[in-house]
Structure 1
Amino acid sequence: MKKWWLVLLFTCTTSQAAEHGVKEISPGRLLLKSGEIAVGISPAPPKIERVLIIVHGRLRNAQTYLQSAERAAELAGQSATTLVIAPQFLNEDDVAQHPVADTVLRWQGNEWMAGGESTAPFRLSSYEALDEIIARLGDRQQFPDLKQIVIAGHSAGAQVVQRYALLGHDQPALETAGVQVRYVIANPSSYTYFDERRPVAFSHAGCPQFNRWKYGLTDLPAYAEGQTAALLQEKYLKRNIVYLLGQQDVDPNHPALDKSCEAKAQGPYRLARGRYYFAYLKRLQPQGLQQQLIEVPGVGHNGDGMFTSPQGQQALFP
């Protein structure tokens, strides 16, 4: 166990714009099958019953999210049994600005958000990286007490979690061990729909890409090879998913809001888009959707405010 954590010591960073390198590279490295991923991690409690994987947003500010998740665990009284892991999906700008070993995975621009493949040292989908981290947690020798894995993200990180919940490969070892996997999706700019229906009228001729990945299931990434739309929908509707929406995230001009025609077809702002998507899922599952929509009063587009709120704690630590 100690050896594993020495390789794993995860931490992450913050930045003002996705187009520029992050201010700080996470010092931790988790060895995957294809290279290493930069990571941040909370102090390991003596008994780990839950692992919270927190995915940073477009700014790749994983340390900020690590701290918010640690604070949420403390407020919920779950610090004694929760390990927080914050992977950092570096891009080419980051490694150009900071000294980073050639073995550390990096992506082009924001391609990691939609499951794109790394540019070096090997080609690895960001979703495959999450697969490998989760599979590692299924090792009963290292995690004998693990009962639950929670994968959470806010904003662009929530987009990652929503699409990963949709495409993510099954983990039979976790199922056999009785480890529950839960996804918490907080205030994403957009969602992936399973068909061409959208809640807002738009011009198909003026928005021909509206149903392409990541907004729809046309032209899926290589990671999804062999999965049909029907199978993806069936699996997704069975996932343990919580949609966490800030009731004040209602600015149609928010600087980080996706304002493409593909996103606008899903609603004018994040709160509306989340409510519309949940209503859409309920229509897909008329016999009863097992997923949850939880709204956070008084909070807008603020990851820390979302996760540390009573509603955020409820979503992360059921």
Structure 2
Amino acid sequence: MHGVDRAAAAFRDLLAPQAERNGQIVLVPEFDPEQFPGISAYNFGGVRLPPPDNALQPRDHWNFGVIDRLFHYVRDAIGSSRETFGLFGNSAGAQFVLRYLALNEAASVDLAVAANCGCYMLPNLAKDYPDGMGGIGLDTSDLRRYLGRSLVILLGDADNDPDAPDLPRWDEAMAQGPHRLARGLWHLEHCTKLASSLDVALGWRLEIAPGAGHVDQLIYDQGANILNG
């Protein structure tokens, strides 16, 4: 899943070298900004209209279903017998990946990688979406399922610039840390404690990409290798 710039072709080209060495097929859907304007329509999945409206959209208007339809279309077109796929997103794409896992059955995803996310949705039913998981018809079973997902939080240890362009700076984001590296570490620690309190076996793990910045070939290569097992 591409970033906020919606540059799907460039994103594909960054993933392709290591994916080709691994024998992987890379699919990168492009969420055109004319059809999916702003972060509400892409990063946040089209679940709510953008502020100040914030109206909850019908579930069949949410954009997460594009992923499953694309997988099944390509699988059938090439005659593959695969039943599952791996999912990778960087930056805004990581926000999409995390929400896809939290809000959907996502039965076809065997492993997901969320890299260098700028702000994390809290697994909290008392906090309204998109900051939390509340107000959109979810319950504790959805929360527990999300924490049990097979998920890697991938962070570049050089993605630590508090003045980085496009770094989310709304109050909820700033409360998670001064930069993306700090926010990722904070979020994993927070969710580890939450899973323990709910007696859920956390399916998440942390991987660090040494020397990697925000948009960095090292991130894409490591992401491809993680999904390759």
Q: TM-score under structure 2 normalisation?
A: 0.83
The equivalent residue for 1:128 is 65
SS of structure 2 residue aligned to 1:190: coil
Which residue of the other structure, out of 58, 78, 81, is the alignment partner of 2:22?
78
Structure 2: how far apart are the matches of 1:312 and 1:141? 24
The equivalent residue for 2:3 is 57
Q: Which amino acid aligns with 2:143?
A: Q
Correspondence 1:77-226 to 2 at 5 A: 77-79=21-23, 82-92=24-34, 106-110=35-39, 111-116=41-46, 124-136=61-73, 142-144=79-81, 146=82, 148-171=84-107, 174=108, 181-195=110-124, 211-220=127-136, 226=137
The equivalent residue for 2:56 is none
Q: Are the equivalent residues in 1 in contact too, given 2:153–2:206 (CA < 8 A)?
A: yes
- Offset at 1:296? 0.7
The equivalent residue for 2:178 is 268
The equivalent residue for 2:53 is none
The equivalent residue for 1:299 is 212
Structure 1: how far apart are the matches of 2:174 and 2:207? 22
* CA RMSD, 1 decimal: 2.6
Matched, 1:253 2:163: yes
Decide which structure has greater helix share. 2
- Offset at 1:113? 1.5
Q: Are the equivalent residues in 2 in contact too, given 1:278–1:293 (CA < 8 A)?
A: yes
Higher relative contact order (CA closer than 8 Å, sequence separation 6+): 2
SS of structure 2 residue aligned to 1:302: coil
Q: How many residues of Structure 1 are paired with residues of Structure 2 in the alignment?
A: 215
- Offset at 1:273? 0.7
SS of structure 2 residue aligned to 1:298: coil
Structure 2: how far apart are the matches of 1:266 and 1:118? 23
The equivalent residue for 1:231 is 141
Decide which structure has greater strand share. 1
Q: Are the equivalent residues in 2 in contact too, given 1:107–1:118 (CA < 8 A)?
A: no
Which structure has the bigger radius of gyration? 1
Q: TM-score under structure 1 normalisation?
A: 0.61
Structure 2: how far apart are the matches of 1:292 and 1:169? 20
- Offset at 1:212? 3.2
Structure 2: how far apart are the matches of 1:67 and 1:280? 34
For residues 282 and 240 of structure 1, do their structure 2 counterparts lie closer, same or farther at Cα, with a shift above 3 Å needed?
Answer: same
For residues 148 and 169 of structure 1, do their structure 2 counterparts lie closer, same or farther at Cα, with a shift above 3 Å needed?
Answer: closer
For residues 118 and 83 of structure 1, do their structure 2 counterparts lie closer, same or farther at Cα, with a shift above 3 Å needed?
Answer: farther
Which residue of the other structure, out of 206, 216, 225, is the alignment partner of 1:314?
225
Identical residues among aligned pairs (%): 30
Structure 2: how far apart are the matches of 1:163 and 1:258? 17
Q: Which amino acid aligns with 2:15?
A: A
